[in-house]
Each structure stands twice: as C-alpha cells, then as structure tokens.
C-alpha cells in the first residue's frame, strides 16, 4: 500500500519520486548508445518534460488571471520563464548532435522537430487560453501604476522569446524518421503526469528539475562508455566526435540545475517535503553513481594513460580529447556547486544539525563534503587557490555574515516545521531502502567505497 499524507502519496524511493521507470520506458531499439541520434533524442525528451510542465503552468496562470490574483500570477509566470529557459538551453545543443563531416552545401535530409509533438499542440492550446485571460489582467494591473503590470508584461515577453528560441532550435536534421516514433512524447508525458498531489504545489516543477537532467545524463553516460571503448582501441578520431557531444550534454545538465536553484522558494519546498519521503538526490544512479563515481573517473584515468599519438594529427586530436575531459570534469563540478543552493535555500546553514530526509545529521555539510569527495576522485582538482566556493567560514566576502544569518534563519524554520525529520520519528524513523547500484564497469573502473 502506498503511504500517503493529506496532500497525497509519499515517495518510496528517488526512482519512484521522479517516475524514472516510466521516464526510461521508451523503446529505443535501433538507437545506438553513445550516438548523435541518442544524444539528440535525449535533448528532445527533456524538452518534452518542459512542454508538459509549461502547459500545466499556463493553465494555472489563466486561472490566476481570472481570479484576480496578480501576485500569484506573477509567481506562476516566473516558473514558466524558468522552465522555458531550460527548454531553450536544451534546444541550443540539439544542432550539435547532427552527423559530423557533411559538406556545408549538402542536403541535410529530413528533420525531426518539436513542432510535430502532441505536447506542443497541448501547450499551444493552453497558451491560447492564457492570452485571452491575461489581457484583462494586464489592463487592470497597469491601472494600479505600481509596476506590477510592467513586471508581468516583461515576464511574458521574456517567456515568449524563450519559447520562440526553443522551437526554432528544437530540430535535428540528418537522421530522418518520425518524431513521435523516435522521441515518444506520450511516454514522457505519462512520466511527468504520473505523480500528483492535492492542492496547488510545485511538485511537477520540482520533478522536472530532476527529470530533465536524468534524461540528459543517461545519454552522457553512454557517451563516456563509447569514448572509453574508442580510446582502448586508439580510435582517437571516433573518441573525439563522441567527446564533443559529451561536452554539450554535460554542459546543459549543469545549466538545468538553475531551474530549482533560482526558482524554488523555501515555502514551496517545505510544502512538498514530507511527500518526498526518505529520498535524496544522492540516490540518483545516473548522476551520483554511474557518472560521478564510475564513468567520469574511468574516463579521466583512460585519457591520462592514453599512448602518445603516432602522428601530428593524432597528437592534436588527443590534446583536444584531454581538454574536453577537463571540461567534462568542470561541468560536473558546476553541477555540484549549483546543487548546493538546494540545501542552502531550503534547509539552511551547515553545522546547525538540520537533518536531511534520509537522516544525514547535517544536510548542507553532507552535500559540501560530497563535492570535495568528487573532486578527489578525478585528476583535475582546482588545486591551490586563495578562495574556494565552499569555504563558508572565511571572511573574504562582505556579505558572508549576512549569508550566515539568512542560512541560520532557514535552518531554524526547517527544524521547527519538520520535527519528525529532526528527531527521526514517525515516517522518518525508518532507514531508506536505497542501496548503491552495481558499478558500471570499464577497464579503468576503480572499486567504490560502497562496493569494496
């Protein structure tokens, strides 16, 4: 029986919370792992997550406008801008997944594009209702002369331009095929809509902030595996092509973290926190295990041990591969640093004893240490610097004291509201069921601490 509270179901695991079983249920037979087609489809699917979210948010905004709730309407449209920005960032990278080496004047062949998606049709219909509803709201807000109307107009204009960009670039030539058959938007829509709570919450958007990176990183992992195979056979040219796509995938995975870091407010997170159950983002198999602990360290080791090139061209290619490997490491560190904003904004200061849902005695401190451990697993740590982003105790920043006051206030608020979490009572007395997955192996994979 699924546990519930007054809002709805409580997640049994991270995979359950993010509907990963449905999200990855697409039939991908005929799509080679580590290929440009796989990478492009992953970006399209993450864009489908965005479109389904935007249709839901457009419906909410229409209702907000009709009910005369300008502040709530602004909040909803801000979320629309955040999700649309993520969609446009995904779209920018799609063209980089097209087959390389074709002459500039060659016919690229048939295209697959998001305009063919039924989820785009649903979003278009939802926005038609929003356009009608928001006109009257704007007229009333401009009459107030307090800047609210200007702010709403600015957000709407920004949103529409982001959407225009996303649609233009959500197209991929050179592979052919039917968009629905390849991208399978119905399956993605089912995954997005699978978990709902009663009342108005941002659970769908919280899940989107995890579902989009999950899709992208799953493809990135296959690209690392493909690059490793090419490197073992000294196929440096083939490895380079894979690595260039990997760079774009990990780049956008880091950018996608900004959706929740920039937009999720403490009160919004607290509203859904109990329904997250005994879960943690550190339970992501794709991100925290296969990418960060298994494949990326293996790639760093393999590139470091690669024999010198036998020609000037091979030497140059290998140098570019090394640079792209360092970039991959940096993208992952960017992801970690942006991710730190989630416990900062929603749980509060480190060293205050604010527990995580899974029982870590100090949530922010645990995430900070995860970053340090991740840097230690690769050959590209920042080295000696005069300042580290995670040096919270040093008085370098003028705003550091205020920062600590704000973080302490969030921590006190969190501990007071979630006493079961703090005291490990009620639903939170149990241990998480999550267990680390088997190592995703290559010839360079080193044992994890959790696996001996």
pLDDT per position as a tens digit, 395-421: 788 998 899 899 999 999 999 999 999
User: How far apart, in whole angstroms, are the C-alpha atoms of residue 143 and residue 149?
Assistant: 8
Q: What share of the chain is helix, strand, coil (3-state, %, to 5)?
A: 65, 0, 30
- Provide the whole-model pTM: 0.94
Which pLDDT does position 336 carry in this prediction? 93
Q: Where would I find the beta strands (DSSP E) of 107-224? A: 111-113, 171-173
> What is the DSSP pairing of strand 8-9 with strand 111-113?
unpaired
The pLDDT of residue 382 is: 58
Q: Supply the pLDDT for residue 339.
A: 93
Residue 81 near residue 150 (C-beta atoms within 8 A): no
Q: How far apart are CA 82 and CA 60, in angstroms?
A: 15
Report residue 235 CA to chain centroid gap: 31
Cα gap 107→353, rounded to integer Å: 61
Bigger pLDDT: 351 or 188? Answer: 188
Looking at residue 310, its pLDDT comes to 80
Looking at residue 366, what is its pLDDT?
83
- Give the H/E segment covering residue 4: strand 4-5
The average confidence (pLDDT) of the chain is 91
- Helix/strand/coil for 134: helix
* pLDDT > 70 fraction of the chain, expressed in percent and rounded: 93
Tokens of 333: 């560190």
pLDDT (tens digit, 9 = 90+) per residue, 120-150?
A: 999 999 999 999 999 988 888 887 878 899 9
Euclidean distance between CA atoms 268 and 78, whole angstroms:
14
Token pair, residue 274, equals 């109990």
Q: What is the pLDDT of residues 215-261, one digit of tens each?
A: 999 999 999 999 999 999 999 999 999 999 999 999 999 999 999 99
**pLDDT-derived band of residue 368, with 50, 70 and 90 as boundaries?**
confident
Q: Are 262 and 78 in contact (CB under 8 A)?
A: no
Determine the Cα–Cα distance for residues 452 and 441; give it in Å rounded to an integer: 14
Q: Is the confidence at residue 443, as pLDDT, over 60?
A: no
Structure tokens that stand for 442 in this block:
């290559």
pLDDT band at 452 (very low <50, low <70, confident <90, very high): very low
Token pair in block for residue 230: 């090419």
Mean pLDDT calculated for residue range 265-283: 95
């Amino acid at each position: 029986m699924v546990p519930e509270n007054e809002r709805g179901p409580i997640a049994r695991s991270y995979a359950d919370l993010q509907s990963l079983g449905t999200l990855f249920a697409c039939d991908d037979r005929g799509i080679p792992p580590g290929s440009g087609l796989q990478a492009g489809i992953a970006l399209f699917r993450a864009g489908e997550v965005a479109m389904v979210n935007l249709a839901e948010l457009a419906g909410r905004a229409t209702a907000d406008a009709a009910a005369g709730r300008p502040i709530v309407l602004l909040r909803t449209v801000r979320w629309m801008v955040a999700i649309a920005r993520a969609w446009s960032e995904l779209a920018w990278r799609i063209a980089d997944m097209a087959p390389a080496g074709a002459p500039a004047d060659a016919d690229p062949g048939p295209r697959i594009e998001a305009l063919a998606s039924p989820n785009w049709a649903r979003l278009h219909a939802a926005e038609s209702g929003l356009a009608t509803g928001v006109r009257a709201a704007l007229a009333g807000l401009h009459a107030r002369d307090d800047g609210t109307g200007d702010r709403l107009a600015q957000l709407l204009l920004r949103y529409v331009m982001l959407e225009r960009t996303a649609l233009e670039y959500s197209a991929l030539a050179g592979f052919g095929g039917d968009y629905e058959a390849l991208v399978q938007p119905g399956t993605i829509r089912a995954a997005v809509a699978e978990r709902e709570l009663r009342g108005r919450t941002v659970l769908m958007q919280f899940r989107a902030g995890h579902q989009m990176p999950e899709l992208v990183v799953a493809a990135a992992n296959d690209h690392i595996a493909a690059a490793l195979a090419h490197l073992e056979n000294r196929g440096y040219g083939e490895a380079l092509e894979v690595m260039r796509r990997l760079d774009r995938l990990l780049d956008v995975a880091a950018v996608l973290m900004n959706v929740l870091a920039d937009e999720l407010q403490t009160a919004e997170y607290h509203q859904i926190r109990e329904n997250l159950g005994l879960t943690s983002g550190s339970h992501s198999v794709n991100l925290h295990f296969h990418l960060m602990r298994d494949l990326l360290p293996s790639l760093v080791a393999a590139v470091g041990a690669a024999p010198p090139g036998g020609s000037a061209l091979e030497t140059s290619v290998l140098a570019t591969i090394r640079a792209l490997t360092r970039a991959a490491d940096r993208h992952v560190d960017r992801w970690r640093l942006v991710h730190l904003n989630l416990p900062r904004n929603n749980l509060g200061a480190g060293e205050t004893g604010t527990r995580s849902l899974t029982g870590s005695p100090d949530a922010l401190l645990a995430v900070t240490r995860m970053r340090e451990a991740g840097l230690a697993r690769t050959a590209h740590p920042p080295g000696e610097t005069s300042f580290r982003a995670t040096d919270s105790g040093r008085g370098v920043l003028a705003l550091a004291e205020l920062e600590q006051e704000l973080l302490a206030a969030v921590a006190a608020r969190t501990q007071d509201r979630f006493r079961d979490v703090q005291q490990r009572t009620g639903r939170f007395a149990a241990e998480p069921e999550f267990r680390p997955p088997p190592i995703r192996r290559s010839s360079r994979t080193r044992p994890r601490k959790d696996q001996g």
